[in-house]
Amino acid sequence: MGRKQKGLSFYEKKKRINAHVVKEIFGMVFGTFAAIFLAVVLTVNMGMRTNTVGVSMEPTLCSGDEVLVNRFIYKLSKPQKNDVVVFLPGGNPNSHYYVKRVVAVPGDTVQIIDGLLYINGVPEEENYDKMEEGGIAENEIRLEEDEYFVLGDNRNASEDSRSGNIGPIRRNTIYGKAWFCLKGKNGMGFIE
């Protein structure tokens, strides 16, 4: 009769590697690396990050706010009125990126009369202070096929399309749409 011995045993049980567990682990590791790779590729090719400079977009954006820019959207569509765009004035690569709001699109006429913005002869209903200076828009400006008129939200502290050295901006100088404030004085969130 075989008796079971109590005490120490020097036999090790062979551990089997379960093929299903290995497959699951490999799938999770592969999925993680694929997601990271895709995120990096999308960010590099379609996105951009920049900081706002100055107070021209307050209260929407403050100086130093870190903004994410969607560079891909304008490959599929054109900038629209009220979009917050990022551009280089005159396409000058030695300048910092400007962040402004589109107030008029190609084909529109723009004029500033008594501090109020007129688009196509109609005064805009806006919640901004009256503009102290109309700049080049004191005379009516008709936007060409690829031109956009942009203004800062803080109209009296903004260098924008009213300025002679910027003027209406061309489509090819627009880098993308500012869509998300990553780090800012007003907190993180989507830009409206």
Catalytic residues: 56, 100
Query: CA-to-CA distance for 140 and 125, rounded, in angstroms?
Result: 18
Query: CA-to-CA distance for 19 and 117, rounded, in angstroms?
Result: 69
Peptide bond into 93 cis (omega under 30): no
CB atoms inside a 10 Å sphere around CB 156: 13
